[in-house]
Structure 1
Amino acid sequence: MHYEGMVIRPPSEADSILLQVTVGCSHNKCTFCGTYKSERFKIKPDETIMADIAYAAKHFKRQDRVFICDGDALIVPQKRLIKYFREIEKQLPWVKRVGLYANAKGISMKTPEELQELRDHGLGIVYLGLESGDDQTLKAVNKGAGSKKMIEMGRKIKDAGIKLSVTVLLGLAGREHSRVHAEETGRVLSAMDPDYVGALSLMLIPGTPLHQDYEAGRFELPGSAEMLAELRTMLAATDLSGGLFHANHASNYLPIRAKLPEEKDKTLRMIDDALEGKVALRPEFLRAL
């Protein structure tokens, strides 16, 4: 397989075939993210992508999922993207699902019919980084889209019959704005109604603008108890018709997995117990990105 730069994938795609179609992220301006700072965004040549699919057909017969990297594959023109999906169908007929990362810009460039076409050729899940539902926070971290746009794009994926997994970042608004960030994120998640929510805890990356703000005293990172209180507020404000709310990433102080709506109250009680010191938190040295 031909990989360039840093290739990342969601935790749930750990056993998937990683097919790198783009290098980097077309937006690449979020102040908290250092993943693609050294990469110039590009779409890889067709011959390289096709060669990787052929390699996967020979060597990855046990994996039944494909994850398309990098940051926002939906920005690839539809004709080219459909060509890759058809080649996956042809050479990897055992693959049951294709997933990819997307941002608001990439989703907006696809018509509902184009998304449905991708679904019909195997696209089963889209991972969208919301980070926050609070417009002030989204603007501060240079996310590139406000909460209204995020809701519209999330619903667009759902309406196309594709599963939606949304990522949010605890601590992203700092200490002073924490509660508003949590409440507004719950509001936006409720409006999107995703199939999965993944809550991560902010870990500052040296060299990023947000880390520079932290060192200069312009950003206060919430502590473990404050992150946990933020998680509680966010979960309390989130109403899903039927989905999973995860906070079991290695960055989190308290791993949770709640099926909503039925396990919401039980999970809130568990967070309360942790806030009261009745449940041990993950120690700092065990946290990781």
Structure 2
Amino acid sequence: MRYEGVVYRPPSEASSLIIQATIGCPHKKCTFCAMYKDKAFRIRSVEEIKTDLRLAQAQYGSTVDSVFFADGNTILMRTEQLEDIFCYTQQLFPANKRITLYGSTQFINLKSEGEFERLKKAGLSRIHCGIESGDDITLTRIVKGADAAAVITAGKKVRAAGIELSEYIMIGIGGRERSREHALASARVLNEINPEFIRLRTFIPMEGTILYDQWSRGNFGLLGPYEALRETELLILNLQATSLLYSDHASNYAYVNGRLPIDKQAMLDTIHKLLTMPEDSFRPPEYGGL
């Protein structure tokens, strides 16, 4: 396989074969994001992608059972191109059980529900979508490129096609000023969509980003451990979805995982226990991509 620049994938794709179908991200305006800064966005040709798939087959043979098509917004490719590479993947790897990729709200909404049904039939199993927040003011401030209504439309479209949806929420992205609004609005959006997965990430200022500069100048209120835990508590308390919730990332202060709603109280109990610990006992969060 041939890779260009730093390649990111979700922790849940750690065992997946990674193939770059696109290079970089077509948006690159999010004020918090330091990913894909080293490369201009482009879509690789279908033949390039197929060549990499054949290289992977030669190296791994029948052991491949999950494929993640990087980079940042592979869903932007034309539907017929995606159908082609998905079908080819299934031909090369008969034991493959899962095909996944990243897709942001604005690019998901460029496709119709019928197109997603076609992609599902071709083998697309899951879309990883970083919605970050359900609060319109926060979404505008971080230049996410979509509002809450668009997030809900995109999520329902993917769900209606039978494709799994993994939605990412960023704890603390609203700052101290909008912590409550961010938590409540995010819960509302997630309840509307009811995705298969809700994954939590805690905001960490990354050097080289606009939000890092705002924080450095004192213009953004970064949440401390207790504040981040209370925001997480408020989010979970207001979730009515039946999703699997994971805090599967080193950025988080609390590892709360479980099926909603049956595990909600256990997750809240974990947070309550952590809130009894001295705040200075929490390690600084670590960044490791999505």
**TM-score (structure 1 length as normaliser):** 0.96
Report the alpha carbon displacement of residue 281 of structure 1 after superposing the two structures with TM.
6.5
Q: Give distance in 2, aligned partners of 1:256 and 1:279.
A: 18
What is the match of residue 277 of structure 2? 277
Cα-to-partner distance string for 1:222-252 (whole Å, 9 max, x where unaligned): 1011001110001111111x22111131111
Written as runs of structure 1 = structure 2, the 5 A alignment for 1:54-203 is 54-60=54-60, 61-203=62-204
Residue in 2 that maps onto 1:247: 247
- The answer for the alignment partner of 2:18 in structure 1 is 18
Gaps of 5+ in 1: none
> For residue 287 of structure 1, what is the aligned residue in structure 2?
286
1:4 aligns to 2:24 (yes or no): no
Which secondary structure state, in structure 2, belongs to the residue aligned with residue 130 of structure 1?
Answer: strand
- The aligned residue for residue 40 of structure 1 is 40
- In the TM superposition, what is the alpha-carbon distance from 1:28 to its structure 2 partner? 1.0
Note if contact 1:2-1:48 (Cα within 8 Å) is conserved in structure 2.
no
Deviations 1:62-119 (A, max 9, x none): 2200001011111101121111111111111111110011011221121211111111
8 A contact 1:16–1:64 mirrored in 2: yes
Distance of 1:247 and 1:282 partners within structure 2: 16
**Alpha carbons of structure 1 residues 119 and 267: separation in structure 2 relative to 1, 3 Å:** same
Letter in 1 for 2:286: R
Q: Which has the higher contact order (CA 8 A, sep 6+)?
A: 2
Following TM superposition, by how much is the alpha carbon of 1:277 offset from its aligned partner in structure 2, in angstroms? 2.1
Partner Cα separation in structure 2 for residue 153 and residue 282 of structure 1: 36
* 1:138/1:145 contact within 8 Å kept: yes
Q: Which amino acid aligns with 2:201?
A: L
Contact 1:98–1:124, Cα closer than 8 Å, also in 2: yes
Give the distance between the partners of 2:159 and 2:123, measured in 1 at CA: 15
For residues 167-215 of structure 1, give each alpha carbon's deviation from its aligned partner in whole angstroms, at most 9, with x where no partner exists: 0101101112111111111111111101100001111110100001011
- Greater displacement, 82-91 / 22-31: 82-91
C-alpha distance in 2 between matches for 1:280 and 1:16: 37
Amino acid at match of 1:77: R
Shift of 1:129: 0.6
Aligned equivalents of 1:288, 1:80: Cα separation in 2:
33
* Runs of 4 or more above 6 Å deviation: 278-281
C-alpha distance in 2 between matches for 1:58 and 1:93: 14
Amino acid at match of 2:202: S
Displacement of 1:279 in angstroms is 11
Contact 1:134-1:180 at 8 Å conserved across structures: yes
- Partner residue in 1 for 2:232: 231
> Distance in 1 between the 2:182 and 2:248 partners?
20
Q: Do the aligned residues in 1 keep the contact of 2:11 with 2:248 (CA within 8 Å)? A: no
The answer to whether the 8 A contact 1:254-1:282 is kept is no
Shift of 1:217: 1.2
The CA distance in 1 between the partners of 2:36 and 2:49, in whole Å, is 20
Aligned mates of 1:243, 1:48 — CA distance in 2: 36
1:50 alignment partner, SS class:
helix
What SS does the aligned partner of 1:123 have? coil
SS at match of 1:239: coil
Distance 1:279 1:137 in 2: 26
Number of aligned residues = 287
Identity of aligned residues (%): 35
